[in-house]
């Protein structure tokens, strides 16, 4: 049983190492996608097929422009955010477009203990990164279904959009880059793009492979020592008493 346990442990650590390498590949692919999408030409939202089933694979993070009017009555906050080492929240305001539909705009980051800045009045033109709705993972915090709730853990547009009586809410949102007319205010701050480094996946993979190598080497040494033990005992002189 001990030998089986050691083998299973080595296999587990090897698989953890390969898992980290797969995560590294995913991170590199994501970094390439962000770099490519965010540098493409700005297009109108109407030119983007955001209802396409492969939207997130082909269009997320594109820069688009929209024109409409902010509806502060149904503004919400996405909590537990941080930026540049400061804790806070994102202020998210619905923008009513000319065709009557609504898109939520993440206007940016606001530190804790700072009041939520009001968006500009009247017609505005917003440029932003197109983002897909977010859903709760297996271990994610649960948001309230109460339509009066104004604080959310994630950008679950289907849930957030239930607050708007018209119901004509687009299933996407924008991370604001700029607005016209501009507001000369420190907050909300534009949300930073995801960091485009490779993280610690390679170093973690090396560690797991190192641990598995050490375990395998130690196991071989112990097994060889045990196999030699009977021979050593056999070669030892025996003593008899007279």
Do 203 and 90 lie in one domain? The reply is: no
Whether residue 210 is contained in a domain is answered as yes
For the segment 109-136, the average pLDDT, to the nearest whole number, is 92
Do 149 and 207 lie in one domain? The reply is: no
Q: pLDDT tens digit string along 34-77?
A: 988 888 999 998 887 776 666 666 788 999 999 999 999 999 99
Do 4 and 35 lie in one domain? The reply is: yes
Whether residue 240 is contained in a domain is answered as no
Q: pLDDT tens digit string along 172-229?
A: 999 999 999 988 888 999 998 887 778 888 999 999 989 999 988 888 888 888 877 7
Whether residue 238 is contained in a domain is answered as no
Number of separate domains in the chain: 2
Whether residue 191 is contained in a domain is answered as no
Do 57 and 77 lie in one domain? The reply is: yes
Do 81 and 146 lie in one domain? The reply is: yes
Do 27 and 138 lie in one domain? The reply is: no
Do 72 and 147 lie in one domain? The reply is: yes
Do 35 and 45 lie in one domain? The reply is: no
Q: Is the pLDDT of residue 233 over 70?
A: no
Q: Write down the mean pLDDT value for the chain.
A: 87
| Structure-model confidence comparison of residues 213 and 167, the more confident one | 213
pLDDT at 88: 96
Do 23 and 78 lie in one domain? The reply is: no
Full domain range(s) for residue 224: 1-39+199-229
Q: Is the pLDDT of residue 82 over 90?
A: yes
DSSP line for 180-241: ES----S-SBPPPPPP-S-TTHHHHHHHHHHHHHHHHHHHHHHHHHHHHHHHHHHHSPP---
pLDDT at 241: 52
pLDDT at 120: 92
Do 221 and 113 lie in one domain? The reply is: no
Do 6 and 121 lie in one domain? The reply is: no
In the chain, the percentage of residues whose pLDDT exceeds 70 is 91
54 vs 59: CA distance, rounded Å: 8
């Amino acid at each position: 049983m001990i030998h089986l346990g050691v083998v299973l442990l080595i296999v587990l650590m090897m698989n953890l190492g390969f898992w980290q390498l797969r995560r590294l590949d995913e991170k590199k692919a994501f970094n390439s996608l962000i770099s490519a999408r965010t540098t493409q030409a700005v297009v109108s939202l109407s030119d983007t097929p955001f209802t396409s089933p492969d939207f997130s694979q082909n269009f997320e993070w594109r820069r688009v422009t929209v024109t409409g009017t902010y509806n502060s009555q149904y503004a919400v906050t996405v909590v537990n955010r941080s930026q540049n080492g400061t804790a806070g929240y994102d202020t998210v305001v619905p923008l009513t477009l000319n065709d009557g539909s609504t898109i939520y705009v993440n206007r940016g980051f606001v530190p804790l203990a700072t009041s939520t800045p009001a968006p500009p009045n009247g017609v505005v033109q917003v440029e932003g990164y197109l983002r897909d709705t977010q859903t709760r993972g297996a271990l994610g915090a649960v948001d309230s279904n109460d339509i009066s709730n104004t604080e959310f853990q994630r950008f679950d547009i289907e849930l957030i959009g239930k607050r708007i009586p018209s119901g004509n809410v687009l299933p996407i949102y924008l991370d604001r880059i700029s607005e016209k007319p501009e507001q000369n205010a420190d907050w909300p701050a534009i949300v930073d793009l995801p960091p485009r480094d490779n993280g610690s996946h390679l170093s973690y993979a090396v560690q797991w492979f190192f641990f598995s190598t050490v375990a395998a080497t130690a196991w071989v040494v112990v097994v060889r020592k045990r196999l030699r033990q009977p021979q050593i005992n056999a070669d030892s002189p025996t003593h008899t008493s007279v």
